[in-house]
Structure 1
Amino acid sequence: MTLLQTLLRKVLPAAGLLTLALHPIPSFAQVTLGVSDWPGWVAWYVAEKEGYFKKYGADVKLVWFPDYMTSVNALSAGQIDANCQALIDTLSPVEKKVPAKVILVTDNSAGNDALMVSNGIKTYPELKGKTVGVEIGSIEHYLAATALKMHGMGEKDVNFVNMSTGDAAAALIAGKVSAAGVWNPWIQRIQQHKAGHPLFTSKSAPGLIPDVVYARDAALAAHQKDFVGMTKAWFAAVKFIDANPMKAAEIMAPHVGLKPQEYALSLAGTKLFGAKLNLAAMSKSTAPESLYVSTAATGDFLVSQKAITATPDPASFIDVGIVKAAMKP
């Protein structure tokens, strides 16, 4: 979730979806996987570059979406076979009965999302009554609401003003708001301008912001072998990135127009999920990484925002079968 995504998010969704409708993405490969600008998803290019798709017999085509929400809509419309998306943006399609399942957890945000505050604010009581720039209903809004709740406050204790993430960051830098919900690179840019500091980040809330691969049922039925191979390739990519973070950043950075050194900072704020963490995430438990825990919390927030009417049962949209098959020798 970077600068390019932020700038285009408001402009391209309608135009992008219209383009997809008029010119469906040609399926040159058996499985088309939507990818957009977030470290946990750009990491797929490491799997491609290092030859892991070929190694594990996965016929996969990565489809780049400059605008993230267009990829979410494309999956729901059946324009691609699978998509990388946040859990918070998956619960609405689940409620609308889009025929798809969560088959993989790519990552959890671990510092890449933050509630940034002006330098004069050091504690949560000092934030009371202040203006917070945030995109209402977004991950950043969810993070800010969670931070307030964890510190004995509620949304009514601050004045949330709806604005894009880029605008919120600019407003904080300009001193027009006291706080802003942002992600990297905006966190870095606010700090570079010495205009604020993080009062709360996703690193302090493990499991709060999971990202997943959401795949259509028809594609899963037709191409199970490719999905299993694709998942094996993902596990190999995670191991490579953990062992070679700078080399991985060099592979990933050109896809988002950043320097490797800059991208390495964003990568550090993303906890990539390998095989064992995926199994834990997709199992019912009280562990913070479990999608059962995050679905309950995320669902409550979305219901409060009237984005969904009820929290779906995770068992209805999680398919751990691909992960289990990929873990076999």
Structure 2
Amino acid sequence: MIKPVILALLLLLLGGCSDSPPPKVVLAINPWPGYEILYLASQKGFLAEEGLNIELAQVATLSDAQRAYLSGRVSGFTSTMIEAVQVEALGGKPVKVVLAADYSNGGDVILAHSNLPDVKSLKGKTVGCEVSSLGIYVLNRALAANGMSLDDVKVINVEQGDGGRMLESGEIVAMVSYPPYSFAILKESHSHLIFTTREIPGEILDTISIDADILATQPDFVPRLRRAWQKALDYFQAQPEEAIAMMAQREGISPDEFQAAINDLYLLNTADQQKMFDDVSKLENMARSVCTTLKHIDAVEGDCSHVIGMFDVSGGR
């Protein structure tokens, strides 16, 4: 017969085993006001409240986030739909898009020398962008909207941190950028806006993607993440001054600049997520359209069939 004290100790040990934290998921995250909601969720304890063990690994750019995943250094990453669509085509492990953070509604921009009034004035000139990710897509769409193509300009790869310097030196006449980098470029160089994603509404969707194998071992990861995301959004709405001050400081911009950047986004809440992931065929069509455009500009290879099944609908049911 087991003594009561020993039995109590056994039950305590068994209980402790059952409450062990889930394996850590390391998520690469680049500067972008919409992604700051994740940091807010982490800093205010909402991720932990939902039983999530997520480490946010800061990287410099969208391309860096994608590269971190491709190299196996992280298990997921923040990005636009463009980078998420690319990873498997570039040889990375299959991912699932688990959360849609926001639509860029003016946040992604093209900045040009002040003597160039519009996109058409870029014809025959050198333009900088991140050629392996969002930048080339935005540039292609801006040119197409003005009856031009990438053949009408000379495109060179420029990292976001070098955009302002290269505009000032004359190495490029325009740069595809986004906050907080675009704010710095506008301050540091004699440039102005000639295009924003407000002209292509609904096309640039910012996402969070996770290694599909991770999700197979943590089936409740997605609903937990979406609940933590909503808690952070609720906190942002309830305590806007404090939240904006925290997020602006991390982005290295002023609270007013952060507010201006957020105004150029449409942050997606739980109801938006539910509606979006319930209509998964629409998401897959969007991904296929993005992939087709990337194929046209030689940014990916293959038939784009990998976008089918790329979206995790478990969190919306």
Match in the other structure for 2:184: 189
Query: Whose Rg is larger?
Result: 2
Q: Deviations over 1:35-76 (max 9, x none)?
A: 422222221121123332344x32222332334545434445
For residues 207-245 of structure 1, give each alpha carbon's deviation from its aligned partner in whole angstroms, at most 9, with x where no partner exists.
322222212233223222343222111122223334544
What value does the CA root-mean-square deviation take over the aligned residues?
2.8
1:164 to 155, 159, 171: 159
d(CA) in 2 for partners of 1:271 and 1:279? Answer: 15
Moved more, 252-261 or 195-204: 252-261
Give the direction of change, closer, same or farther, for the CA distance of 1:243–1:314 in structure 2 (3 Å limit): farther
User: Unmatched 5+ residue regions in structure 1?
Assistant: 1-26
SS at match of 2:190: coil
CA distance in 2, matches of 1:98, 1:171: 35
Secondary structure class of the residue paired with 2:305 = coil
Q: Cα distance, 1:34 vs. partner?
A: 0.7
Separation in 2, partners of 1:70, 1:133: 17
CA contact (8 A) 1:102 1:319 kept: yes
Q: Which of 219, 229, 235 is the aligned partner of 2:230? A: 235
Q: How does 1:174-185 map to 2 (within 5 A)?
A: 174-185=169-180
- Residues 4-153 of structure 1 aligned to structure 2 (within 5 Å): 29-36=22-29, 37-55=31-49, 57-68=50-61, 69-76=63-70, 79-95=73-89, 96=91, 98-153=93-148
Distance in 1 between the 2:34 and 2:87 partners?
A: 21
Distance in 1 of aligned mates of 2:72 and 2:184: 37
Asked if 1:300 is matched to 2:300, the reply is no
Aligned-residue offset at 1:28: 6.7
TM-score by length of 1: 0.77
Deviation at 1:157, TM superposition (A): 1.7
The amino acid across from 2:307 in the alignment is P
Q: Percent identity?
A: 24
1:217 counterpart residue number: 212
Paired with 2:66 and 2:206, the residues of 1 have a C-alpha distance of 12
Question: Does residue 250 of structure 2 align to residue 255 of structure 1?
Answer: yes
Letter in structure 2 aligned against 1:294 = M
- Output the amino acid matched with 2:153: V
Tell me, in whole angstroms, the C-alpha distance in 2 between the residues paired with 1:85 and 1:125.
Answer: 29
Cα distance between partner residues in 2 of 1:90 and 1:264? 27
